[in-house]
Amino acid sequence: MKKHNLLAVPASLLLFLFAACSSDDSTTTDTTDIISQVTAADNIDEAGDYTYDTASTNVIAYSGTSVSATGSGVTVSGTTATITEGGTYTVTGTTNSGNLVVNADADAKVFLLFNGTSITSTTGAPLYIKNAYKAIVYLVPGSINTLADAMTNEYESTVYSLTRLTVFGTGSLTVKGNTDAGIASDGGIIIKDGTFAITSAGSAIKSDKNLVIDGGTYTIAAGNDGLHSDTQLTINDGEINITESEEGIEGALVTMNGGTVHLVSTDDGLNAAGDDDTVDKYFYMNGGYLFINASGDGIDSNGSVVMMGGTVIVNGPTANDNASIDYDNSFTVSGGYLLAAGSSGMAQAPGASSAQKSVKLTFGSTLAANSIVHIQTSSGQDVLTFKPAKTYQSVVLSSDALTTGETYTVYTGGSASGSVTDGLYADGSYTAGTLKGSFTVNSTVTNFSAN
C-alpha cells in the first residue's frame, strides 16, 4: 500500500496545562480539574490522520449540472455524491446546484482531498458529514476551493458535520454561509493550516465540542461569533483577522498559546462563557498577539483570566455599561503585556495576587479618539505611548516595565514619532501634551486618578 505522509504530527493533540493558578482570594485551583469537565468526546489528533492511501483514491468530479465518481464507495443521484465507505476521495470541479454527503460507517475515517472544488448548494449544505468516525478535509497545495450554501438550509451551516472534523493542507477555502454558520461540527474541529475566507450570517466557525486552531490564515466576517466552541477553544498558531462579528471569540475555556489575532466585535471581543453552569469559565493567555476592537466588553470572562505571556491590546467600549476588561472571579497576570483602553464605569485591572505589576489610570473626563496617553519614568524613559482608536476614560497597563518604588509621570495629547502597531508606538520620541500627574508603584495594582 502506497502511503503519502502529509504532515508530521504527534499521535495526539494535548493542551499544555499549568498545574495551578492563584486567584485574588489566594485560593488555588487545579486547572486539570477544569479541563476534565469539558473534554468528553472532543476531537484530537490520532495516528493516521494525516496519512492517506494514494493507491486507491476515488475521484468525485462535478461539472455543471452533473457529477461523476470513480471507484467504489460513492453513489450518485443527480448532482449529489454520497460517500458510503471509509477511504480517500479526491473532489474536483464546479457546480452551482450540488451536494457532497458523507454517510459511512460509524468507525470509518473519510479523507476528502479538495483540489479545485467549487460547490454551491440550492437545497442545503454543500458539504454534509452525516456519519463517520472522522472526516478529514485536505486542501491540496495550490488549490482554490469554494463552498456556498442555499439561502434556506435546514442544516444551518455551509459545512455541517455530525462527527469529528479535521482540516489541513495549504490550499485555500472560501466559505459562504448564507443561512447561518460557515463551518460547524457537533464532534469537534481541528484546523492545521490553509487559507480561509469565511463570510457567514451566523458564526463563522462553530463547534459543539472543542475547536483547535493550529495554523492557517483566516479572514472572517461573521453575523454572530467569529470563532465559537461550547467547550475548549484553543489557538496555537495562525493569522486570524475577524473584520466583523457580534462576539469575536467565545468558548467555555479559551486558551491562546500563539498566533496573531485581530478582531472587531459589536459586543464582547473575547468571551469565556457557556450555557453549562457546572463548568468553570477561563481565559488563558500564554503566548501570541491578540488585538481587540470591541463595542462591548473587550475581554469578558464569566469566570477567571490567567495571563502568563503574549501581548493583549484592547480598544474597548465607549459606554460605561461595558468595560475593556470584565471578569467575575479573578485575573492573575505573571507575564506578557496587557494594555486596555475604554470607558471607566466598569473598568477592572488584574488582581492583587498577580506576580506582575499593573496600573489603572482613570481620567476625570473622556479623552478624544486618537489622543495619545503617555507614561514615562522619572528619568524620562518611555513606558507607554499609545493612541487609542476610540474615546476613552480608563487605561489599564500590565508590563514588566512597571517596577516597585519607581515614580511614573502621565501625559495625554501631544505627538509621537516612531513605528506604530495597532496604536502602540515604539522606537521613537514623544512631544509632551498635557501633564496629568504622577504615581509611584508601591503595590501589585496601582490605581491612579488623573484629572
The CA–CA distances, whole Å, from 440 to 71, 299, 357, 404 equal: 75, 27, 12, 8
What single-letter amino acid sits at 181?
A: A
Give the per-residue pLDDT at 263: 98
pLDDT tens readout for residues 348-367: 999 999 999 999 999 999 99
Q: How far is CA 57 from the centre of its chain?
A: 34
| Per-position DSSP letters for 313-354, written without gaps between them | EEE--SSTTS-SEEESSEEEE-SSEEEEEE-STT-----TT-
Query: Could you give the CA distance from residue 141 to residue 58 in angstroms, rounded to a whole number?
Result: 19
Residue that is written with C-alpha cell 472572517 in the block: 220
pLDDT at 192: 98
Q: How far apart are CA 216 and CA 240, in angstroms?
A: 8
Instruction: Spell out, as residue ranges, where the chain has pLDDT lower than 70.
Output: 1-40
Q: Which residues contact 36 (CB under 8 A, 6 or more apart)?
A: none
3, 188 Cβ separation under 8 angstroms: no
The per-residue pLDDT for 13 is: 29
Q: Which three cell numbers stand for residue 298?
A: 473587550
Alpha-carbon distance of 278 to 275, in angstroms, equals 9
Per-residue three-class SS string for 251-307: ECEEEECCCEEEEEECCCCEEECCCCCCCCCEEEECCCEEEEEECCCCEEECCEEEE
pLDDT of res. 25: 33
In the block, cell 459543539 appears at 208
How far apart (Å, rounded) are the C-alpha atoms in residues 373 and 365? 13
For cell 478582531, the residue is 263
pLDDT for the residue 39: 52
Closest CA to 39 of 204, 233, 237, 214: 233
Place of cell 486542501: 139
pLDDT for the residue 218: 99
Which of helix, strand or coil describes residue 31?
A: helix
Do 306 and 285 contact (CB within 8 A), yes or no?
yes
**308: three-class secondary structure by DSSP:** coil
d(CA 123, CA 98): 8
Contact yes or no for 150/121 (Cβ under 8 A)? yes
End-to-end CA distance of the chain: 75
* One-letter amino acid for residue 322 of the chain: N
Instruction: Provide the pLDDT for residue 423.
Output: 98
Q: Which residue has the cell 452525516?
A: 130
Distances (CA, A) of 140 to 98, 113, 119, 145, 168: 21, 6, 16, 9, 9
310: DSSP letter: S
Give residue-wise pLDDT tens across range 406-425: 999 999 999 999 999 999 99
Q: Which helix (H) or strand (E) holds 217?
A: strand 217-222
pLDDT digits (tens, 9 = 90+) for 126-167: 999 999 999 999 999 999 999 999 988 999 999 999 999 999
pLDDT at 5: 41
